[in-house]
Amino acid sequence: MATTPRSGGSGSGAAQRPNGTSQNKSCQFKLVLLGESAVGKSSLVLRFVKGQFHEYQESTIGAAFLTQTICIEDTVVKFEIWDTAGQERYHSLAPMYYRGAQAAIVVYDIQNQDSFQRAKTWVKELHKQASPNIVIALAGNKADLSNIRVVEFDEAKQYAEENGLLFMETSAKTGMNVNDIFLAIAKKLPKNDNNQGSVIKPNGNEPTQTTNNCCK
Amino acid sequence: MAELKAPSLQSLLESDRGSTDSLQLDFEFEGLDDVEFAIPPTDVLPTLETVLSEFEADSDVASELGMPVPRATPTPSIGEDCGVRADGRGGSGSGSIMRYTLLHGISAQLASAAERVNAGAASACAVAAYIAVGTSHGHILNFDVTQTLRWAHQDKHSQGAVSSLAFNGDSTRLLVGYARGLVTMLDTQTGDVLRELFDVITPNTGVLHVKWTSRSSLALCADAGGSVWSLSFTRKLGIRGCSSRCLFSGARGEVCSVEPLIMDAQGRHELDQYSIVALATLSKYFIVTVRPRLRVIKYHALQGPADCLPLLAWHLVLIQAADTSRSVDPVIVVGRGNQLFFHQLFVANGRITLLYLRHVQLHSSLLSAHWLGPKCVASLDTSEILHLVDVRSSRELECMDMANAGLVYGSAQFKGLATGGNVSPAFALAGTNACYNSVVSRGTQLYVLGARSLHIIGVRTWSERISYLVKNHRWQEACQLALDGYIASADRPRKRAQAKERIIMLFKEYIANSARAPEYCLGAIVNCLITIGELDLLWTQLWERLHNNTELFLQHISEHIEQETIHSVNPVISQALVDYWLQHSPAKLEQLILKLDWMCLDLNQVLKAVKRHKLYRAQLYLNACALNDYTSALTELLPPLRPDQTDLGNCLLVYISSCLAGRRFPSGDIPEEQVQQVKNDVLRCLTSQHSSASPVDELPYPYLRALLKFDTRETLNVISLAFQEREFSNELGFSHRKRIIYLLLEIMTPENATWAEIGCLLNFIAQQISTQCLPRDKQLLERVLSYLAQENIANESARQHSERESAWHELLSSNCLADISNDEEQLELAQRARCYYVVEYLLEKLHRYDNILECLIHNQARHETMFAYMERHVSVSERCIYQQLRRHLGKLLEINAAETTRLIALHYPDKMSELLELLSGQQRLLFRLLQCLNERHCELQPALMELLLELYCNLEGADAVLEFLRTSSGYRLDKAIDIVERHQLQRAVIYLYEQQESYAKAFDLSMQLLRDATVDTAAKEAKEIAELLARSAQTLPEKQLERCWFTLLQYILPQQDLQSITKSMLHEASQHIDLHNLLQLIMNTHNVSTSFGDIKDLLMSMLISSRQETEALRVAADTLCQNLHTDLAEQRRVARRGVWVTSMRCLICRQRLYDQTPVLVLGPCGHALHEHCRNEATTLQQCPRCDAAMPVGQLSTLRLPCPSQHLLSSSHTMELGSLQLKAPPRRFC
């Protein structure tokens, strides 16, 4: 289950650990996955981080944490991914994770209209509650089953454009678009060095503050 | 060490290169330093001269106050990499504070000068912007800071060795003193001689010190005669001159040390207008102002060993007074022997004052004492070990062995060898340890001059020490030092930031250096980063380079989590941490989870692991805190709970209790807005009729049932605690309570629970009702009562019974049972249920006191109170205490005889006989009573005592009887003997005979015992008889005693098995009986030959006593004779003495004394009386006339001659002159 950041890398060709002498810039981003339960959030991350796919993925409790590092041009981007649980009872946890996140992927199941509606409410919540310059991507998962789709590509695409989201239909099973969507997010994220400090900092400090707020 | 002894070829080469370099670059050495040796600019890294302690911002404050801090020379560029000899002795910094450097360039030049131009060994040095070294043949070599020789000067006047050198304030002039008295002034730039002063000091003496004062034209010079001279330099019309004046003449105490105060404060200090000098002789030291006029400010005595010179050194120090005012004032350190005294010099009310600050004692005598910066004093001791002493803490920081430096001593100058030795012996003796001119300080550096070398000891700053430790890969110490510095800077934010930066730098150095062994000193560096709060570095840089050796790292992190220095870790680390501890110790993982902020945990991973490894606490904690789900863990954990899972069960009980009380598990509080919800949720969950899974065979209320099954009592405790919460106290709360109680009753049916458990519940209910926490429901009460009044409950423990009783009692006292039955019925029930506490209560309530004691007797727990009760009510007649006491006397005695007896003796002494009568059938009880009475020292009648003795004999052993006889009296001896004899207690009989003083009988009986005794006990018996006889020696007639002894000895001596005691017996006997007879006895017994050793002592003692007696006789005769003789002599003396009688008449009868009757002369007053008159005034203590004291001895009577007419007339005819020639009569004295 638990992975160290270095153990993966086989699935994503771009993933590469920086070596000590490299003069590449390096950035670290906190990314959160949101969406209804059983839309394939954990599978998506598993495909991205380890290149694996389990037909019967256990449901996530609370939230899971994974890291993955990729290279874009001369920048090393390290993703700290919080894969939240989709079940309704864990909904109250989500703000802890998307607060202070630089990127979010909202996932829905293309066979499930409800999950798409849920995704929309997530997007709304993110716009309202999350940091204003958060990069949001919308992922229509299970694209390998497009023959029995319910949510049309165009409908989702249109919604994404209206709300300024990145959009891709993905399949954790086949690996389609999985790396691409993470790469797209990485590209869209600000990577200049000046930003780096402010990028890393909230990761270290803000979560503790939010915890204090919510638990007191 | 090798490079210290002699400059190696390498170092010579280096120095050559160094000098050529610097020649080309001339004065741009600072640039060279920075580029070539990559020395960072001074504003980033503190320079050499800022001391370790200045890190604590003293220099800053000094500059704020407008005091320039003295700057030392820049770092010498060569010889930096000399090996540092860190001496382990006592230094807590273990060699990282002091930096030793050998100045190769200068040393090489000194060596070559000695070889090539016969300059001789170095003898003195001075350091300012230049370094000047004088030699024993009068040469002076002047070096600049790059160790380049600028010029050399040779004395042309054959003035001997250079004894002292001094640079002036701006390093333009060099003052040189020679061993033969010449003082020269040189230009430091060119080496030209500006002044040659031949006659400025005492003629025919050498120069000891030359010093510049704070005035540019004024210098001081001390000579070997002990005088101090002031040299005022003048330049009139371009002609240089000098006038010298004697400040202090050696005739009045020889000055050994001169130290002017040079502050360089440029008028910003009040003392700046004065020119102040400290002088020290062998017995005192003085603080003197030279300008504006010569005046002694203060002097102190200075004691020390004769071969130790006084040491003086000034420094400006920031002083923080007790009232937090700060000032920068010069502080002088005065050293002598192994003592260092610190005094502050300041201006108070217009007067210059010297204030004692502190005193430091070192282990050995000192050669030198110099300030190295404002916090440290470096002192070299007589074994050439350099000690660095922290002034504030008076602690030795570090020491360094300087023996290899080959230190130059100035003894020759002090002994005046160059001028014919015309110095005082004390001065010469003290001078053996003189090194005033070969150890000099500048800033934070100490220069030590060897015969052909010059050494620098510097003090490293905090930052430099870290660098040094890092360079030597002593990471542990480096980290510790860095942290110390960081912690010390707690209240100075700017310093703290700098310290933090330095630690981060240290961390980077660590990262760069420890790539090969990433685990080396990991703990220290982790500790550093955590302390300064740079966790990101910990998580990223340090973590990422560990690759797969994360174990140690994780352990360190875990330690810090346990110590609660960190609460949150990077999620990456937390994942690794969880994995690691899952493998090694899940229990530890649980503790860590409980201490960590849940936000940093991978909940998916942790929750699954926790469930798998049954870490209940962590599960409860995470579910509650992270998921805000306070019930799911309960529903999951409760149904499978078995009574033997105490850990889980207790944990759940605590959890439920804290949830119901609004507390978070395991610590903290539930957020205000959630409390209500949580309480409701938990309560609802507990009281839910069926579990969510709801198996077919499930009994109702599975969760509560599981808890009750696990531990009824504690569960009920939890519920009763919860009932105290606000939620249960309103109207709705009461109905909740009621509902829960009915639930409990429904669960705890006899089929599903033991009687003990049900008892718990009913007790609980009774308590709740009586404290009015539950409505008084009749049905409920009846049910409770039916339990309480049960006559027989199987396996009921004492605790349960007493709980039952107290519950019943509570109900009664809160009057809850009045509706159900009246007190009489209750009494009936209680008696049947053997609830005596309840019975007692009811009887008390019904005022039926006559049986209360019975209840108390039955109730074991109330026995203590029973006696108190009796005591309290003894005088209340309606309580019938006596009657009850009488009735239950036997039982009471059994329960506590002492207490009972006390009661009887105190309150019913008159009823004693009645009570004794009562007990006449029960021997044992009677015995107890009598025994207790006897122990209370009641006066018992002899008959009773004898009865007691009888009982003792019947019931107790022989020893007890004897003990009783010994400790008590009051029995009649003859009766007692009768009783004891009847019981054939021989020993007691012997004792009693002895008491009766019938020793003979006692002895006979004892002999009987001895004869009957077995081999083992015979010796003891015999000893006892001997003791008996010894005791009887006072009373028994001698003959009889002797006969007894003989009987005993005659029995003992032939016995082979009693041989061990024969000797001691004989010894004992010899004190009491005639030795001759004893000896005869021994001779007559058969085994004499075998026991000669035994009688040897006897014979010896006989001989000794005989000798002693003879001796005593002789001495007595001597003394007698002597006394007789002295008496005679005294008598004679008295008789020969003349008596002076001043009165003619008797004091008493006023008749004439001269009438041929005996006369008493009273004493020195010369008054006298008739002896027969004395009888009338028998108590003559003093003379009745003039109160003069009587002489000590017996008053002597004498017959005064009757003066015949003839004599009178003849005396009348005598001339007056012849009478005067006679000596006057003597008085009594």
pLDDT band at A24 (very low <50, low <70, confident <90, very high): low
Give the pLDDT confidence of B1132-1146 residue by residue, as tens digits: 887 787 777 777 777
Tokens 């014919």, located at residue: B420
Give the pLDDT confidence of B931-969 residue by residue, as tens digits: 787 777 777 778 778 887 888 887 777 788 878 877 777
Nearest CB among B572, B599, B608 relative to A96 is that of: B599
The answer on B494 and B416 residing in a single domain is no
Give the pLDDT confidence of A50-107 residue by residue, as tens digits: 999 998 988 888 899 999 999 888 888 889 999 999 888 888 888 989 988 999 999 9
For residue B535, what is the nearest residue in chain A, using CA coordinates? A204
Q: Decide if A93 and B626 are in contact by the 8 Å CB cutoff.
A: yes
Q: Whole-angstrom distance between the N-terminal and C-terminal Cα of chain B?
A: 90
Chain B residues within an 8 Å CB radius of A204: 535-536, 539
Give the pLDDT score at B51.
33
Give the pLDDT score at A210.
37
**What are the b/e assignments for B1034-1046, b being 16+ CB within 10 Å?**
eebeeeebbebbb
Q: Within a 10 A sphere around the Cβ of B687, how many other Cβ atoms?
A: 15
The answer on B448 and B503 residing in a single domain is no
In a domain, B790, yes or no: yes
DSSP character string of B1108-1139: HHHHHHHHHHHHHHHHHHHHHHHHHHHHHS--
Chain B residues within an 8 Å CB radius of A82: 571
Q: Decide if A208 and B571 are in contact by the 8 Å CB cutoff.
A: no
The answer on B399 and B544 residing in a single domain is no
The answer on B533 and B433 residing in a single domain is no
Q: Decide if A204 and B597 are in contact by the 8 Å CB cutoff.
A: no
Q: Decide if A62 and B600 are in contact by the 8 Å CB cutoff.
A: no
The answer on B204 and B297 residing in a single domain is yes
Say which range, B48-62, B195-209, B856-870, has the weakest mean pLDDT. B48-62
Is residue A14 predicted with pLDDT exceeding 60? no
Tokens at residue B942, please? 């002899």
The answer on B493 and B410 residing in a single domain is no
To the nearest whole Å, the CA of B622 is away from the closest chain A CA by: 10
To the nearest whole Å, the CA of B568 is away from the closest chain A CA by: 7
- CB-based contacts of B924: which residues, under 8 Å, 6+ apart? B955
Q: Decide if B607 and A62 are in contact by the 8 Å CB cutoff.
A: yes
Give the pLDDT confidence of B464-485 residue by residue, as tens digits: 888 888 888 888 888 888 888 8
To the nearest whole Å, the CA of A174 is away from the closest chain B CA by: 25
Give the pLDDT confidence of B335-355 residue by residue, as tens digits: 998 889 999 888 888 888 888
Q: How far apart are CA A121 and CA A118, in angstroms?
A: 5
Is residue B819 predicted with pLDDT exceeding 80? no
Mean pLDDT within B553-580: 88
**Please, what is the angle between helix B475-488 and helix B522-532, to 10°?**
20
Between the alpha carbon of residue B863 and those of residues B198, B228, B370, B614, B895, the distances in Å are 112, 98, 82, 50, 8
Q: How far apart are CA B449 and CA B778, in angstroms?
A: 107
Give the pLDDT score at A33.
94
Give the pLDDT score at A124.
93
Sheet holding B255-260, edge to edge: B255-260, B275-281, B284-291, B295-301
Do residues B218 and B170 touch, judged by C-beta distance below 8 A? no
To the nearest whole Å, the CA of B487 is away from the closest chain A CA by: 23
| Torsion sign, CA atoms B979, B985, B988, B994 | positive
Domain total in chain B: 5
Tokens at residue B1176, please? 């009338």
Q: What are phi and psi of B361, to 5 degrees?
A: -115, 130
Give the pLDDT score at B1194.
55
Give the pLDDT confidence of B78-94 residue by residue, as tens digits: 223 333 333 333 333 45
Nearest CB among B572, B602, B625 relative to A215 is that of: B625
Q: What are phi and psi of B24, to 5 degrees?
A: -65, -40
Looking at per-residue pLDDT, the higher value among B604 and B92 belongs to: B604
In a domain, B894, yes or no: no
Nearest of A28, A188, A92, A33 to residue B677 by alpha carbon: A92
The answer on B192 and B302 residing in a single domain is yes
pLDDT band at B878 (very low <50, low <70, confident <90, very high): confident
In a domain, B206, yes or no: yes
A&B contacts, CB < 8 Å? 73
Domain boundary among B800, B817, B848: B848
The answer to whether the peptide bond before residue B666 is cis (omega within 30 degrees of 0) is yes
The answer on B1156 and B1044 residing in a single domain is no
Q: Decide if B602 and A215 are in contact by the 8 Å CB cutoff.
A: no
Is residue B974 predicted with pLDDT exceeding 60? yes
For residue A93, what is the nearest residue in chain B, using CA coordinates? B627
Is residue B1038 predicted with pLDDT exceeding 90? no
In degrees, to the nearest 5, what angle opens at C-alpha B972 toward C-alphas B969 and B975?
130
Q: Decide if B575 and A92 are in contact by the 8 Å CB cutoff.
A: no
B314: helix, strand or coil: strand
Give the pLDDT score at B1095.
67
To the nearest whole Å, the CA of A133 is away from the closest chain B CA by: 23
The answer on B455 and B382 residing in a single domain is yes
pLDDT band at A192 (very low <50, low <70, confident <90, very high): low
Do residues B58 and B462 touch, judged by C-beta distance below 8 A? no
Q: Decide if A65 and B572 are in contact by the 8 Å CB cutoff.
A: yes
The residues facing B295 across adjacent strands are B289
**Please, what is the angle between helix B1059-1070 and helix B1075-1084, to 10°?**
150
Radius of gyration of chain B, Cα coordinates, nearest whole angstrom: 55
Q: Decide if A208 and B576 are in contact by the 8 Å CB cutoff.
A: no
pTM over the 0.80 mark: no
Tokens 């006038």, located at residue: B243
Chain B residues within an 8 Å CB radius of A85: 603-604
Is residue B778 predicted with pLDDT exceeding 80? no
DSSP character string of B273-288: GSEEEEEEESSEEEEE
Do residues B334 and B341 touch, judged by C-beta distance below 8 A? yes
DSSP B407: B
The residues facing B257 across adjacent strands are B280
The answer on B347 and B322 residing in a single domain is yes
Q: Which domain holds residue B491?
A: 462-548
For residue B547, what is the nearest residue in chain A, using CA coordinates? A6
Provide the phi-psi class of B1084: left if phi over 0, else alpha when psi is between -120 and 50, else beta.
alpha
Of the ranges B38-47, B939-948, B1105-1114, the best mean pLDDT one: B1105-1114
Of the ranges A15-24, B624-633, B797-806, B935-944, the best mean pLDDT one: B624-633
Tokens 């709060």, located at residue: B533
Q: What is the interface pTM, i.e. ipTM, of the complex?
A: 0.78
Between the alpha carbon of residue B997 and those of residues B661, B963, B1027, B1041, the distances in Å are 83, 19, 14, 13
Nearest of B460, B443, B409 to residue B86 by alpha carbon: B460
Q: Map B1056-1096 to HEC letters.
A: HHHHHHHHHHHHHHHCCCCHHHHHHHHHHCHHHHHHHHHHH
| Residue of A28, A65, A99 to mutate, interface with B, max B Cβ within 10 Å | A65
Residue spans of the domains in chain A: they are 26-186
Looking at per-residue pLDDT, the higher value among B1049 and B1129 belongs to: B1129
Say which range, B202-216, B879-893, B1056-1070, has the weakest mean pLDDT. B1056-1070
pLDDT band at B1205 (very low <50, low <70, confident <90, very high): low
Q: How far apart are CA B43 and CA B36, in angstroms?
A: 18
Domain boundary among B1086, B1108, B1127: B1086
- CB-based contacts of B716: which residues, under 8 Å, 6+ apart? B744, B760, B761, B764
Give the pLDDT score at A158.
93
Is residue B162 predicted with pLDDT exceeding 60? yes
In a domain, B1124, yes or no: no
The answer to whether the peptide bond before residue B1037 is cis (omega within 30 degrees of 0) is no
Tokens 């050994």, located at residue: B256
Chain A residues within an 8 Å CB radius of B607: 61-62
Give the pLDDT confidence of B368-412 residue by residue, as tens digits: 999 988 888 999 988 888 988 888 888 888 888 888 888 888 888
Tokens at residue B1103, please? 């001989």
Give the pLDDT score at A12.
38
Q: Decide if B572 and A80 are in contact by the 8 Å CB cutoff.
A: yes
In a domain, B648, yes or no: no
Say which range, A153-167, B25-39, B455-469, has the weakest mean pLDDT. B25-39
Give the pLDDT score at B75.
32
To the nearest whole Å, the CA of A131 is away from the closest chain B CA by: 18
Give the pLDDT score at A120.
93
Give the pLDDT score at B76.
32
Amino acid at B1209: S
Count of helices and strands (H, E) across chain A: 6, 6
Q: Decide if B628 and A92 are in contact by the 8 Å CB cutoff.
A: yes
In a domain, B565, yes or no: no
Do residues B1074 and B1042 touch, judged by C-beta distance below 8 A? yes
Give the pLDDT score at B919.
77
Q: How far apart are CA B226 and CA B283, in angstroms?
A: 13
The answer on B512 and B448 residing in a single domain is no
Nearest CB among A1, A5, A211 relative to B608 is that of: A1
Say which range, A43-47, B265-269, B395-399, B1212-1216, has the weakest mean pLDDT. B1212-1216
To the nearest whole Å, the CA of B10 is away from the closest chain A CA by: 37
The answer on B474 and B453 residing in a single domain is no
**Please, what is the angle between helix B603-612 and helix B616-625, to 10°?**
150
Is residue A203 predicted with pLDDT exceeding 50? no
Q: Decide if B605 and A64 are in contact by the 8 Å CB cutoff.
A: yes
pLDDT band at B56 (very low <50, low <70, confident <90, very high): very low
| Residue of B575, B607, B630, B681 to mutate, interface with A, max A Cβ within 10 Å | B575
What is the fold of A26-186?
A: Rossmann fold (3.40.50)
Beta strands per DSSP E along B973-1084: none
B669: helix, strand or coil: strand
Q: How far apart are CA B919 and CA B935, in angstroms?
A: 19
Is residue B248 predicted with pLDDT exceeding 80? yes
Element (H, E) at B1107: helix B1092-1136
Give the pLDDT confidence of B710-755 residue by residue, as tens digits: 888 888 888 888 888 877 777 788 888 888 888 888 888 777 777 7
Nearest of B453, B457, B404 to residue B104 by alpha carbon: B453
Give the pLDDT score at B132.
92
Say which range, B66-70, B662-666, B717-721, B1184-1188, has the weakest mean pLDDT. B66-70
For residue B675, what is the nearest residue in chain A, using CA coordinates? A216
For residue B534, what is the nearest residue in chain A, using CA coordinates? A204
Domain boundary among B1086, B1106, B1128: B1086
Give the pLDDT score at B748.
80
Q: Decide if A64 and B602 are in contact by the 8 Å CB cutoff.
A: yes
DSSP B1189: B
To the nearest whole Å, the CA of A60 is away from the closest chain B CA by: 6
The residues facing B396 across adjacent strands are B389
Q: Whole-angstrom distance between the N-terminal and C-terminal Cα of chain A?
A: 32
Is residue A212 predicted with pLDDT exceeding 80? no
Nearest of B167, B101, B58, B102 to residue B459 by alpha carbon: B101
Nearest CB among B539, B578, B625 relative to A2 is that of: B578
Is residue B1215 predicted with pLDDT exceeding 50? no
To the nearest whole Å, the CA of A101 is away from the closest chain B CA by: 13
Is residue A198 predicted with pLDDT exceeding 70? no
- CB-based contacts of B1209: which residues, under 8 Å, 6+ apart? none
Mean pLDDT within A112-141: 92
Sheet holding B385-390, edge to edge: B366-372, B376-381, B385-390, B395-401
Say which range, B122-126, B294-298, B929-933, has the weakest mean pLDDT. B929-933
Mean pLDDT within B879-898: 80
- CB-based contacts of B732: which residues, under 8 Å, 6+ apart? none
Give the pLDDT score at B999.
79
Of the ranges B288-302, B809-823, B1193-1207, the best mean pLDDT one: B288-302
Chain B residues within an 8 Å CB radius of A211: 597-599
Q: Decide if B604 and A60 are in contact by the 8 Å CB cutoff.
A: yes
| Cα B10 from chain centroid (whole Å) | 56
Say which range, A14-28, A171-185, B575-589, has the weakest mean pLDDT. A14-28
Question: For residue B330, what is the domain's CATH number?
Answer: 2.130.10.10
- Chain B positions with Cβ closer than 8 Å to A: 535-536, 539, 545, 567-568, 571-572, 574-576, 578-579, 597-600, 602-605, 607-608, 622, 625-629, 671
Name the average pLDDT for chain B: 78
Of the ranges B8-12, B207-211, B884-888, the best mean pLDDT one: B207-211
Chain B residues within an 8 Å CB radius of A215: 625, 671
Is residue A13 predicted with pLDDT exceeding 70? no
Sheet holding B207-212, edge to edge: B207-212, B218-223, B228-236, B239-248
pLDDT band at B1124 (very low <50, low <70, confident <90, very high): very high
Q: How far apart are CA B583 and CA B551, in angstroms?
A: 11
Q: Decide if B536 and A85 are in contact by the 8 Å CB cutoff.
A: no
Say which range, A186-190, B8-12, B164-168, B1103-1107, has the weakest mean pLDDT. B8-12
Q: Decide if B599 and A207 are in contact by the 8 Å CB cutoff.
A: yes
Between the alpha carbon of residue B1169 and those of residues B963, B1172, B1177, the distances in Å are 72, 8, 11
